[in-house]
Structure 1
Amino acid sequence: MENIFHGVKARLDEEEITELLSRPGIRIERIVSTGQASPPDFWYDQPNDEWVIVLTGSAGLAVEGEAERTLAPGDMAFLPARKRHRVVWTDVDRPTVWLAVHFGADLR
């Protein structure tokens, strides 16, 4: 993939995660959402830090103990290891393209 937007589809049955780079301690992914969200009552509880930026579209992000955030293009979020979070909604009118960087000493 030479361009982050190459192959982005307007509609997907499921969220699409493409690994762009993986090395010891770091993984970079492109995530494409077209209306998908975390299942009700599901929370991510990851063992490593994650940093995300929304490139297109929009999304609602819930982080435990905080008010829901609306993310638009250019908005970023840092999610420390073990900080529970979930995607409440993503744009249904256009793809939401995320760049996610997972990092930590024990990431494989």
Structure 2
Amino acid sequence: MGERLEGESEPLRIVFEGVAKIGEVMSTFKNVTLRPEDFSSPVALQMALTRIYDTILKSLTETPRKAYVAEIRFTDSMGNTVVFAADLGESPPPLPGTRVKARIVVELLEDRAE
């Protein structure tokens, strides 16, 4: 990736194994999100549903485009399930099937403020 500066230590690398589910989403729906606070009260949920409804209505006026995403799931070192998404672009990934293995590499680097 980048060059290592003189005196800089090697990055600490941690590798996790997980699974990924590959699917399609409409590109306009990428903006639809539900946050934990959206479920904090009935009014908060109504506001979230209004946001979703507005996004869906906007999507009807745009040319529909599909994008491929991977929902990646693994268990961290503390036993917590971690789930995140990765955008794979507009063409199908060259992988067999919709469920595949995932390898997550975390590198911890020295933060040198200059």
TM-score clears 0.5: no
- The normalised TM-score by structure 1 is 0.27
- The normalised TM-score by structure 2 is 0.26
